[in-house]
Amino acid sequence: MAKTVVEDCYKLTVHVLRPYLSAGWRGSVRWSRGEQETGNISYRVLGDIIPTAIRLMYSVTKWDEEKISLDYTVELTATTLAWGAVRYWFVCPLRGCGRRVGCLYLPPGGNYFGCRHCYDLAYESNQAGVWSHVFDLLDVALMQKDYPGITQKDVRALNADKTTPHMKQLEKERYLRWLQNYDPHEGYLSSDELCRKCKLSCDNLSKLEDARLLLPDTTDRRYRPKLVGWGRKLAYLLRRDWSIEEIQAWSKERWKLKNPKQRPPKRG
């Protein structure tokens, strides 16, 4: 049986009340969905100089439309932070709990605010569970041919209904068009481009590749732009008549040197 999720509950946080936690303060908290108010409670902060509890006053309507009025207190506790500030916490008012928490929840059909552990609440993202993960991966596999580079995160974004259906469809089409032309290695260099930027001959590039000193990053033999600096250093050593074996030895041991970026490097 699926658990109730926190997103379906009324949520009361210390963070929201923190500016008003002064003894004697009265106020209210309201919840809404869009422009429609869905619930509200009144509260009063108790204590002499420092707040010790908060009194909650509200009513709930049961499934048979019976209205029940609630009036009870939730204790507050405080911890002093390293820089001297004080952080307040609720003490869960449900019987036998007493946990120190930053949020209290009132689930559908409930009467009293309590912590997430007492009500055994789940998060919507976790509630989706393993099957949601599996279906996302299947969608990725099916769409990979037409939209190379698409990820599980992309699929979730496309399936998230956060806008009107019309806007969602337009955004989805635009996003899929972008994915269809997506190149994860955009800006990578061909061997000719790398040779030109590093002032390397094609013959020397081939020798460096055979020695595994300068290797392509993609299956179609393209190089990431950051290799240009390394390629220029290798080209410089070749122009100074270093052998491939000398370069290999220096490359393996250079980070043990006092100044590994010294140019020109010392010959072994």
Checking if the pLDDT of 111 tops 80, the result is yes
As to burial, measured by CB atoms within 10 angstroms (0-12 exposed, 13-18 middle, 19+ buried), residue 265 is: buried
Checking if the pLDDT of 34 tops 90, the result is no
Side chain identity at residue 104, one-letter code: L
Mean pLDDT score of the chain, rounded to an integer? 82
Number of domains in the chain: 3
pLDDT at 67: 87
Does residue 97 share a domain with residue 78?
yes
Q: Residue range 8-15: average pLDDT?
A: 90
Does residue 167 share a domain with residue 74?
no
Least-confidence region, from 80-94, 124-138, 213-227, 245-259: 124-138
Does residue 10 share a domain with residue 118?
yes
Q: Tell me the per-residue pLDDT of 112-153, one tens digit each, with 9 for 90 and over.
A: 999 999 998 887 655 555 556 666 677 777 777 777 777 777
Does residue 17 share a domain with residue 86?
yes
Residue 60 lies in a domain: yes
CA-to-CA distance for 123 and 142, rounded, in angstroms?
Answer: 28
Does residue 170 share a domain with residue 60?
no
Could you say which of 156, 180, 204 is where a domain stops? 180
Local structure of 138: helix, strand or coil: helix
Whole-prediction pTM: 0.48
Q: Tell me the per-residue pLDDT of 145-189, one tens digit each, with 9 for 90 and over.
A: 777 777 777 777 766 655 455 556 666 676 777 667 777 788 899
Residue 266 lies in a domain: no
Residue 268 lies in a domain: no
Residue 206 lies in a domain: yes
Checking if the pLDDT of 41 tops 90, the result is yes
DSSP string for residues in 223-246: B-TTHHHHHHHHHHHHHTT--HHH
Q: Show the domain range for 156.
A: 128-180
Checking if the pLDDT of 194 tops 80, the result is yes
Does residue 149 share a domain with residue 47?
no
CA-to-CA distance for 25 and 54, rounded, in angstroms?
Answer: 10
As to burial, measured by CB atoms within 10 angstroms (0-12 exposed, 13-18 middle, 19+ buried), residue 89 is: middle
Residue 165 lies in a domain: yes
pLDDT at 222: 92
Residue 261 lies in a domain: no
Q: Residue range 56-85: average pLDDT?
A: 87
Residue 143 lies in a domain: yes
Least-confidence region, from 124-128, 195-199, 206-210: 124-128
